[in-house]
Amino acid sequence: MINQPKFPASHEDRHLLCQEEVDGPLQDILDQATTHGWGTIETISAMEEVLKNMRIAYAEDPDPAEDPPTRDSGDANDFGAFPSADRLVNAYVRERGKS
């Protein structure tokens, strides 16, 4: 569980508190992955790539929930394509090509 920030955004130590708050959940992910056969370094590397791609996607579209659907199928349960996911995949492919 991640708690709310104790400091305003302008506080010089807020980033440290955020690191403390996300450390536990990240450790849980690492533990789950290694329990299921993934290597520790392999998992950390994967997490780094995922986070890097999330940063790229966020830079391109900070709030994908506000994106309008790309088409209207007439189906009330069809929320349309998720452009941010498409951009995430494209960004991932672009970054992988640079390696």
pTM over 0.85: no
Q: 41-83, pLDDT tens digit by residue?
A: 999 999 999 999 999 988 888 777 776 666 655 665 665 555 5
**Domain range summary for the chain, segments of one domain joined by +:** 14-67+79-98
pLDDT band at 85 (very low <50, low <70, confident <90, very high): low
What is the distance between the alpha carbons of residues 67 and 97, in angstroms, rounded to a whole number? Answer: 28
pLDDT band at 21 (very low <50, low <70, confident <90, very high): very high
Name 6's Cβ contacts closer than 8 Å, sequence gap at least 6. Answer: 17
What is the distance between the alpha carbons of residues 59 and 73, in angstroms, rounded to a whole number? Answer: 29
What is the distance between the alpha carbons of residues 27 and 10, in angstroms, rounded to a whole number? Answer: 27
What is the distance between the alpha carbons of residues 23 and 21, in angstroms, rounded to a whole number? Answer: 6
